[in-house]
Amino acid sequence: MENLKKIMLVDDDPSVTTLLKTKLDKTGRFNVVFTNKGKLALDLAKIEKPDLIVCDIEMPDMDGGDVARSLMDNEETKDIPILFCSSLVMPSDTKNGMIGKQHMMSKAAKFSDILAKIESMLLQNS
Amino acid sequence: MNELNHCNILIIDDTEANIDILVDTLGDDYEVSVAMDGESAIEDVRTNPPDLILLDIMMPGIDGYEVCRRLKADEKTKDIPIIFITALSQVEDETKGLKLGAVDYITKPISPPIVKARVENHLELKQARENLERQNNILQENIHLREEIDRISRHDLKTPLNSIISIPRILLQDSRRLAPDQVELLEMIEQSGHIMLNMINLSLDMFKMEKGSYKLNPVPLNILSIIKKILFALRSLTDSKEIKFNLFINDLADNIRSASDCDIFGVLGEELLCYSMFANLIKNAVEASSNSATVTIKLFSKSSENEQVKIVIHNKGVVPASIRDNFFEKYATAEKKGGTGLGTYSAKLMAQKLGGEISMSTSEVDGTTITVTLKYSEMDRTEISDSAILSKTSSAVKEIIFNQSSVDCSLPQPQLPQLRIMVVDDDEHNQLILKKYLNYPEFDIELADNGQAAINKFKERNFDLIFMDMEMPVMDGIEAVSLIRKWESEKPNRGENAIIIALSGHDDPNTCQNCLDIGFDAYLSKPVNSRQLREIILKFFKNKNQVEIDADLEDLIPSFMGDKKSEIEQIQEVIRKSESPFLTENGYQMIQKLGHKLKGGFNMYGFKDQGSLGSAIEEAAKQHDFQAIKNSLNLLESSLSDIQIRYVNID
């Protein structure tokens, strides 16, 4: 159990967090926590200390960019890798899950691709 | 009766005494010639046809009856009036002459006054008849000409125009391969094509109005909402010139105030005509204004003495002196780039058709004022429907309105069924355009040049869907469809009947109904765009609306669908609350966000079609395209209504 990686999901749409949690739980390799409020992301990250954060970009209370900046500005959370998962981009817009220097996946991408991206990011960071 | 002087009269008689009397009687008034026997008379008539023939019956050789019969049998001479000269004792026999085609008879002994009178009568009759014939010919020529114009503009012009409009759109679909200036040039071609199409449609409506065959169906309209639609449609022009609009209402008590969103200004008219007329006039006013100027539109309520409302459009420009006097006349134009001189002319025709008037005054000091009067109509809020403008077919306005939304081709690409499709059109360009539009891996497409070729292919193998042009050589669409339907009914075991969709340059309700009666399943008016094609395909083949969803998500789907349906309901709520056909800025923003949520959610769960529709709603809201929002929302709802979910293991 101790080698389960902890993933934190941030998305205002509960149907999205539910889906990702269901699919990630199913793999048996992750411990998944989530929030539907961008503003709570920093506090939750400080408590949970996840290995990776999957974050939506367009959220009503606080957008994904601001969430990421608040995490990076904080000593406790600045090293947690962030994967943006957004419907603003299409699967064809990303290359190896990257847009520029950002880790980015489309919400329209296949789950297996999102999972592969998460695995590879965790591997890089360990 | 001066003209009768020049008439030629031929006397055919073997009796010199008779000839003398007749020549004496008629010689002063007419050109008279004589033949003394039947054979030579017939020859004379053929070489030099007279205007009238006086014909004796009893002659050596062939008699008068035979001469008459032969002349009447000859196409060249049959119309020359013949008067028989007959002895009194033969009057009974005269019915024989009249039956042979003679117009009259004169009895011997010859009475000069009677001969004169009868000859004159018949020459006049002949001339009158010839005049009538000439007029009849002119009329028939006019009818023919009119049909020609209709045909040329509907079909001959629209068919190549279809290519001009469609091909740039096809090239632009892959705009990443094009340099920015190429994109711009292609868009210019496309726009010019649309302008031309509008002109053709407008001139056809005008033609109908000129000939009096335009049928008006007046209904109560809120002219204020029409004007707002026009201002919205013109916004790119007005923005580029920074034109400001003032919209005032002048009520019964003569108070002038700015028009607000909830104002209603009822007139009796046709929405399309009103839109077209005011769009012309307001566009002119904007074009005549200098940059940053103001255009003022004032609506005057009906006065206590009559039932007319007045709409006044004012701008500070001046109408050039050269066209002031004939401002509303056909082809009157001055110094305007691309001006056809049809805009104001058609505005006048439309105003008159609507039972109103239009006038113009212009001066250096006061600028230009156009005044339109229209019939007043009571109107209450429940009668206002934004869809009314789209409910009637035909006319330029439809094009104008549809062009707003039809420009966007990057619309959703819902999952398409596997189909065998045949495109039947005699125009090579149309074939290629349709083939391009239908260029999806799911479709197996075959082309045919005419109805006969289509039937041959159809008998070889089944097709699910046929797009059929109406006017084609060898065999037209109507005949082909009836034969295909007949063939299908004789082969009951061959599976489902093909869906056959008519493509036609005519878009009047009669033609449309006629097509459906004959066996077509639907009717599209040319030019068609890729979205129309996709929508009609999905309409007929949506029963194959099945999606494969990850089995891991099965438990989540009911509550997920509940969430999505509530988001759809929220969009409908926003639409319901809107009063005009345009939403508030806030409304568009809300819909944009909800569309974004629909897109993300559906895509993640694997509902790709619905995800695309969510994306289309988001995009349409961003563009403030109200109609497109409603279209996509309808598609989304109908796609969810009969969706079949199959859970599969995806690893």
User: Which pLDDT belongs to residue A66?
Assistant: 92
Q: Is pLDDT above 50 for B1? A: no
Q: How far, in Å, are A122, B212, B379, B619 from residue A7 at the CA level?
A: 10, 75, 61, 32
Query: How high is the pLDDT of residue B251?
Result: 64
- The confidence score (pLDDT) of residue B397 equals 36
Contact assessment for residue B530 and residue B410, using Cβ atoms and an 8 Å cutoff: no
At residue B412, does pLDDT exceed 70? Answer: no
* Stated pTM of the model: 0.39
Average pLDDT (B190-219) is: 75
Report chain A's terminal Cα–Cα distance, integer Å. 17
Q: 3-state SS string over B528-574?
A: CCHHHHHHHHHHHHHHHCEEEEEHHHCCCHHHHHHHHHHHHHHHHHH
Residue B576 pLDDT more than 90?
no
Indicate the pLDDT class of residue B336, thresholds 50, 70 and 90: low
Say whether B603 and A106 touch across the interface (CB within 8 A). yes
Q: What is the mean pLDDT of residues B352-364?
A: 89
Question: Are B650 and A112 inside 8 Å of each other by CB?
Answer: yes
Return d(Cα B9, Cα B568) in angstroms, integer: 90
Mean model confidence pLDDT for chain B = 81
Q: Are residues B601 and A15, on separate chains, in Cβ contact within 8 Å?
A: yes
Q: Is the pLDDT of residue B154 over 90?
A: no
Q: Is the pLDDT of residue B194 over 70?
A: yes
Question: Is the pLDDT reported for residue B59 higher than 90?
Answer: no
More confident residue, B576 or A10: A10
pLDDT of residue B34: 92
- Per-residue pLDDT averaged across A100-125, rounded? 89
Query: Tokens for B439?
Result: 């260029």
Give the Cα-Cα-Cα angle B136, B142, B144 (nearest 5 degrees). Answer: 105
Q: How far is B651 from chain A (nearest CA, A)?
A: 7
Closest to B51 in 3D by CA, of B133, B107, B152, B120 = B120
Checking if the pLDDT of B253 tops 80, the result is: no
Dist CA B643 CA B645 (whole Å): 6
pLDDT tens-digit series, residues A8-42: 999 998 889 999 999 999 899 999 999 999 999 99
Instruction: Pick the closest to residue B484 from B447, B457, B446, B506 (CA basis).
Output: B457
- β-bridge mates for residue B548, sequence order: B646
pLDDT mean over B477-487: 90
What's the CA gap between B342 and B331, in Å, rounded? Answer: 6
What is the predicted pLDDT for the residue at A31? Answer: 93
Across the A/B interface, how many CB contacts are shorter than 8 Å? 56
CA angle B109-B111-B117, nearest 5°? Answer: 140
Return the minimum-mean-pLDDT range out of B291-295, B328-332, B399-403.
B399-403
Decide which of B504 and B9 is more confident: B9
Residue A99: partners with Cβ closer than 8 Å, 6 or more residues away: A89, A93
Q: Please indicate if any CB of chain B lies within 8 Å of the CB of A113.
A: no
- Residue B242 to residues A90, B117, B404, B413, B526, Cα–Cα distance (Å): 37, 80, 21, 37, 36
Shortest CA distance to B512 belongs to which of B393, B425, B396, B395?
A: B393
User: What H or E segment, with its residue span, contains residue B612?
Assistant: helix B608-622
Residue matched to tokens 């006086």 = B54
Residues 59-78 of A with CB under 8 A from B: 60
- The arithmetic mean of pLDDT across residues B191-208, rounded, is 74
Residue B547 contacts residue A108 (beta carbons within 8 Å): no
A18/B597 CB distance under 8 A? no
CA of B543, closest CA in chain A: separation in Å? 24
**Which residues on A lie below 8 Å from B550 (Cβ)?**
23, 111
Chain A: nearest CA to B434, how far in angstroms? 27
**Minimum distance, in Å, between the CA of residue A21 and any CA atom of chain B:** 11
Q: Please, which residues have CB within 8 angstroms of residue B575's CB and are 6 or more apart in sequence?
A: B583, B587, B591, B629, B630, B633
Among the listed residues B436, B434, B427, B475, the one whose alpha carbon sits nearest the alpha carbon of residue B453: B475
Strand partners, B95: none
CB-nearest partner of A26 from B552, B593, B603: B552
Local confidence band at B639 (pLDDT 50, 70, 90 cut-offs): confident
B236 vs B296, higher pLDDT: B296
Q: For residue B596, give the nearest of A14, A26, A87 by CB distance.
A: A87
Residue B89 is predicted with a pLDDT of: 67
pLDDT band at B380 (very low <50, low <70, confident <90, very high): low
Phi/psi for B68 (5° steps) reads -60, -45
| B605 contacts on A by Cβ (under 8 Å) | 15, 19
Contact B595, B613 (CB under 8 A): no
CB B165 within 8 A of CB B527: yes
Q: How much is the pLDDT for B410?
A: 38
Chain B residues whose CB is inside 8 A of the A34 CB are none
User: What domains lie within chain A, and their CATH numbers?
Assistant: 5-125 (3.40.50.2300)
Q: Which of B76-80, B247-251, B467-471, B604-608 bottoms out in mean pLDDT, i.e. has the lowest?
A: B247-251
pLDDT bin (cut points 50, 70, 90) of residue A77 is very high
Find where tokens 């009568």 sit: B121
CA B123, B124, B127, B133 dihedral sign is negative
pLDDT score for B386: 40
Selected for mutation to probe chain B from A10, A13, A15 (highest B CB count within 10 Å) is: A15
pLDDT band at B402 (very low <50, low <70, confident <90, very high): very low
| C-beta atoms of A108 and B608 within 8 A | yes
Q: What confidence category does residue B382 fall into, taking pLDDT thresholds of 50, 70 and 90?
A: very low
- Check residues B30 and B3 and name the one with the higher pLDDT: B30
Q: Strand locations in B432-543, DSSP E?
A: 443-448, 465-469, 499-504, 522-525
B404 pLDDT higher than 70: no
| pLDDT score of B545 | 66
pLDDT tens digits, B92-125: 777 777 888 888 888 888 888 989 999 999 999 9
- pLDDT higher at B42 or B648: B42
Residue B389 has pLDDT above 50, yes or no: no
Task: Tell me which of A65-79, B9-23, B140-154 is least confident.
Answer: B140-154
Q: In the beta sheet, which residues pair with residue A95?
A: A98
More confident residue, B172 or B46: B46
Strand intervals (E) in B146-222? 219-222
Residue B87, φ and ψ in degrees, nearest 5? -70, 150
Instruction: Tell me what pLDDT residue B323 has.
Output: 80
Of these ranges, B194-198, B477-481, B573-577, the one predicted with the greatest mean pLDDT is B477-481
3-state secondary structure of B326: coil
